[in-house]
Each structure stands twice: as C-alpha cells, then as structure tokens.
Chains A and B, each alone.
Chain A
Amino acid sequence: MTCPWCGADNLDGVDDCVACGQSLSDAHLSDPATAVERGLLADHVRVLDPQDPVVVAADTPVRDVLRAMIDGGTGCVVVADANRPVGVFTEYDALMNFDTDAPALGGRPVSDFMTAPAETLEPDAKVAFAVQRMAVGGYRHIPVVGAGGELAGIISVRDILRYLTDRMGEGREPGS
C-alpha cells in the first residue's frame, strides 16, 4: 500500500511505513495529512538547497572569525580540517564566551570556543529528521556532508522556516 503520510510504497500488511515510520494500521482512522506533514516526512534535506558555508580553519583567531561572520552575513561558521567539519562556531557561542571581553580574547583560536564535534546531516536525511536534530540540539545551523564526510553545504533554521512557509501555502490551495 502507499503510505498516506509520505507516499512511500509498502508491502501490504506491514504495521509501520518503512520510509517514515508512521503507523499504517491506524491510517484510516487519522485525518488526511496536511501538506506540511507530508512534506516533512517525504522530503529530503537536499530540497532545502544547502548553501555554501563560511569555512575557517581551527587556528583562525576568533576576531577574524567574527569579522568573517559579519562580512558573510551569517551567524555561523563551519570549522573544517581538510574539508571535513570538526566544529561549528555561532554568534551565540560568541556572546556566551566573550560578552564584554571580546577585545581581550580576539587573538585566541576559534577552536577554543567552537562546539565540537559538529553535528552533521546527509542530503538524504528527511526534513523531519533535520528539524528534530535542530530542536533537540538547540542548533540553528547544521553542516551537510557527503558520503565520505566531506563538507557539502549547510542548512539553517531559516531554510526550515522558508520550507514550512512554502508548504503551508500549498496547503491552502483549493483542492489540495
């Protein structure tokens, strides 16, 4: 049968969808899934169009990192070694570590303040999974890596918001 939640094909008689885990036995009792629900369970991280992150080396002085964040218009940089993410440094990390001491600490390497290891996602992960990782970890950015662990992009909570807005709009279309 076709999963009413995410559209995946399942063998007849299985209890839970192999792709999204929603119960199939109760599906006839549930309301039809909304466009947002279907999307979160069926769509993959790659539909969020992961952007190129600002990348710095672990020994970059943190004052240069702050400047790179401002110039790059981002609240997050990926700290990488040989194109593999080793940590993430965000504006929240900056605030919690420096507050009024920013000038005194500016020469220290970003590796002293970054969150490590970096949580990562693969492009095949479901959007629902990305949302859950962000919610549980309190992250607003998660690097996306390829099969070999190489940095392939970054998604932000802003991408999630844009995605939800698009899906909510679809849900309001007549006949959908």
Chain B
Amino acid sequence: MGSQLSLHTETLRQVVTSDPICLDPLAPVREAFERMKEQRRGAVLICREGRLVGIFTERDALALMADAVDLSVPIERVMTPDPVALSEHDTVGAAITRMAQGGYRRLPIVDAEGRPVGFVKVGSILHFLVDHFPATVYNLPPAPHHATEAREGA
C-alpha cells in the first residue's frame, strides 16, 4: 500500500453511516425497541426540535430487559442525555480516542447546529483499518514460521 494509515488526518466523513433513527423524547421505550429490531440498529437518537438531546443503545435496552421494566414510559426517562457527539470534520483518530475513553461503540455525528446526521460506529472504523492493508495479510496463518509443525506424516 502506498499511503500511510493517517488516523490523525482522515476525517469521519467517509465512515459515517447516515439516516439515524430519531425519536421524540416522549415516545414510549417500546417504540425504540421495535424500531431498533425492525431496522436492525443498535441505537436510536432522541431529538427535540431537530436537535440531539439523548441516545438509547442496546446496552440500555439490555438493562431494561433484565429488569422487565414497563416499556410504556417515555424514552427521555431512560435515555442517556447530552451524549458525546462528534462532527464529520473530526478525525478517525479522534473518534477512536473518544470511544476508547468512554467505552462507546458508536458516537452520534451532528452538524454545526447540533442536528444529527448519523453515527460513526466502531465496526466502520474496523473496516477502515482492514481496507488499508492488502488482502494477503488476512490469509496468512497466525504464526507462519510454525505453520508446518502440525502437519502429520511429513
């Protein structure tokens, strides 16, 4: 590969997923569960007048399922308010750092007015790294110099 892996200069624009699910703060938790399952998403954003005010993830859902919580309560009662969010102009490296610090696996991306435009997901960052190396890297045995030891009858 001719180019360096430039985590400090590549921006999030190329790894952002678009079209996030946005719910009203008063929507019942049940609606979040149903939309996440239907659309196979791990999180929904909660928006008031178009601005991001909270996030609800599968981790939050797990806790509610384990406790058999009433799912008719408004989502604003169980969401994480004022989540960490980044801009499309932030770097891939910045997203990695924030995710590592906070234990996040996805971060909402907002525009200059605080309107959500999508997510950067940890899986997208892994794909970004994988695409950087030639496919041969991934076809090699884990420890090439030991590869013949297990061969029987040789």
Show the binding face of A for B, using Cβ within 8 Å: 16, 18-23, 26, 29-34, 36-37, 40-41, 44, 63, 66-67, 69-70, 75, 91-92, 94-96, 98-100, 102-103, 121-122, 124-126, 128-129, 131-132, 134-136, 138, 140, 157-158, 160-162, 164-165, 168, 171-172
Contacts and interface: CB of A to CB of B under 8 A. Distances in A.
A33 B122 CA distance: 23
B71 to A, nearest CB: 6
Contacts of A103: 68
A99 B37 contact: yes
Given A22-B137, A125-B142, A66 B97 contact: no
In the A-B complex, list the 3 residue pairs whose CB atoms are closest, starting with the nearest.
A135-B126, A21-B136, A102-B65
Contacts of A124: 142-143, 146
Nearest to A32: B4
B93 interface: yes
Interface string B97-110: 10111010100000
A21 B4 contact: no
Nearest to A162: B100
Most buried by A among B6, B42, B126, B145: B126
Interface of B: 1-8, 30, 33-34, 36-37, 40, 42, 58-59, 61-63, 65-66, 68, 71, 93, 96-97, 99-101, 103, 105, 122-123, 126-127, 129-130, 132-134, 136-140, 142-146
A83 B75 CA distance: 40
Contact of A92 (B34, B58, B63, B122): B58
A29 B2 contact: yes
Given A92-B42, A99-B61, A100-B34, 11 more contacts: A22-B137, A34-B5, A37-B4, A40-B133, A66-B62, A94-B61, A96-B37, A96-B40, A103-B68, A132-B137, A161-B96
A75 B137 contact: no
A34 to B, nearest CB: 5
A100 B30 contact: yes
A132 B127 CA distance: 7
5 contacts: A40-B129, A70-B63, A94-B58, A164-B129, A168-B8
